[in-house]
Structure 1
Amino acid sequence: MHRAPPVPSPSAPLVFTPAAADDLEALADLRATAMRDSLERVGRFDPERARQRLRDNWVPAQTWVFSVEGRRAGFYSLRPFDGGLKLDHLYVLPDFQNRGLGSRVMRRIAAQADEAGLAVHLGALRDSPSNAFYQRHGYVKTSEDDWDIYYVRSAR
């Protein structure tokens, strides 16, 4: 039986480390695991395609892995884009979701963007709970297509 790790305390530090080139496959697996429920909900879960989406635009220097209490919890990728920044990936493993970790990562990204005076752009899978999450963090919908909704958060 799978057992979730203990809930990290709200004061447990998130440790951010730059991704290394040899992290690719582990992070591709993490992405597939984190996206599974949302992709299954829309009938689009294909584990290999979920992994390939990360492989297709992998840039270790733009990727940060985060851990809590010594356990890898997720990662994000942030790159220059259209005079601002683009959050290409933000994934939290299911065992760590709904514990405030994603919000802590979003505050880190917002602080970095605000300090540089840059907007942050991102896209989220339509019908994913991540849409409400991003809106709670100040992102405003700019457009959408058949599968994704696109957002921007202006610098503050």
Structure 2
Amino acid sequence: MKTETFEPVSLDAVTFEPASPSEFEAQFRLIKQGVGEFVDAIWGWDDDAQRQRIQERNPQSGFHWLAYHGQRVGLVCYHPYDKNLHVHLLVIKKRYQAMGIGREVMNRLESHAPQVGCDAITLSSFNDNHAAVGFYRALGFYTVKTEPHFINLRKNLGQ
């Protein structure tokens, strides 16, 4: 089996592009790829119900496509609130995972947070999404609260 190696991703190579409301279906497909199995295991996945939930709980203004050398490789949604930059979701397409793109996205958000008056980054992950929880812990996030299906994480900045 051939193992591929990748050059580290640089901040310059990852760009954030505001997502248009007209692109919601493409966003939805990527979100389903990223978290569908976890939603399905807990509540069952219903496309119409999930579309409505995503649109109601995540203002479109926070959605950004992630591009790497001009290719759309993922999606992030975040908003500042109460001195926290909250990451609603981060999904990297499977073929682009483990390349450092997610780490660079989070580094970029850490740099952005103080510019919008935030001194911490917060997020939630499904308890059973062990890869995501491990990823965030490796970046210095700690558990704030554990719920039946979710773990709430936080990283204080500038300390």
* TM-score, normalised by the number of residues in structure 1: 0.82
Q: Which stretch has the larger CA shift, 17-26 or 145-154?
A: 17-26
Task: State the AA in 2 paired with 1:122.
Answer: L
SS for the counterpart of 2:119 is coil
User: How far off its partner does 1:138 sit?
Assistant: 1.2
Q: Which stretch has the larger CA shift, 132-141 or 8-17?
A: 8-17
Checking the alignment, whether the CA contact within 8 Å between 2:120 and 2:157 is kept in structure 1 is: yes
Deviations along 1:2-37, one digit per CA (max 9) or x if unpaired, are xxxx98643561122111111222111101012245
Residues 34 and 45 from structure 1, CA distance in 2 versus in 1: closer, same or farther, beyond 3 angstroms? farther
Residues 58 and 97 from structure 1, CA distance in 2 versus in 1: closer, same or farther, beyond 3 angstroms? same
Checking the alignment, whether the CA contact within 8 Å between 1:32 and 1:47 is kept in structure 2 is: no
Identity %: 21
Unaligned runs of 5+ in 2: none
Checking the alignment, whether the CA contact within 8 Å between 2:9 and 2:101 is kept in structure 1 is: no
SS for the counterpart of 1:65 is strand
Equivalents in 2 of 1:79, 1:144: separation in Å?
22
Query: Which residue matches 1:46?
Result: 45
Q: Which stretch has the larger CA shift, 47-56 or 133-142?
A: 47-56
Deviations along 1:54-111, one digit per CA (max 9) or x if unpaired, are 2232322222111113321111111122332211111111111111110110100111
Query: Which residue matches 1:121?
Result: 122
SS for the counterpart of 1:138 is coil
Query: Which residue matches 2:20?
Result: 20
Task: State the AA in 1 paired with 2:8.
Answer: P
User: How far off its partner does 1:153 sit?
Assistant: 0.7
Query: Which residue matches 1:3?
Result: none
Equivalents in 2 of 1:99, 1:29: separation in Å?
21
SS for the counterpart of 2:26 is helix
Q: Cα RMSD over matched residues?
A: 2.4
Deviations along 1:135-155, one digit per CA (max 9) or x if unpaired, are 111111000111000011112
Unaligned runs of 5+ in 1: 1-5
Query: Which residue matches 2:8?
Result: 10
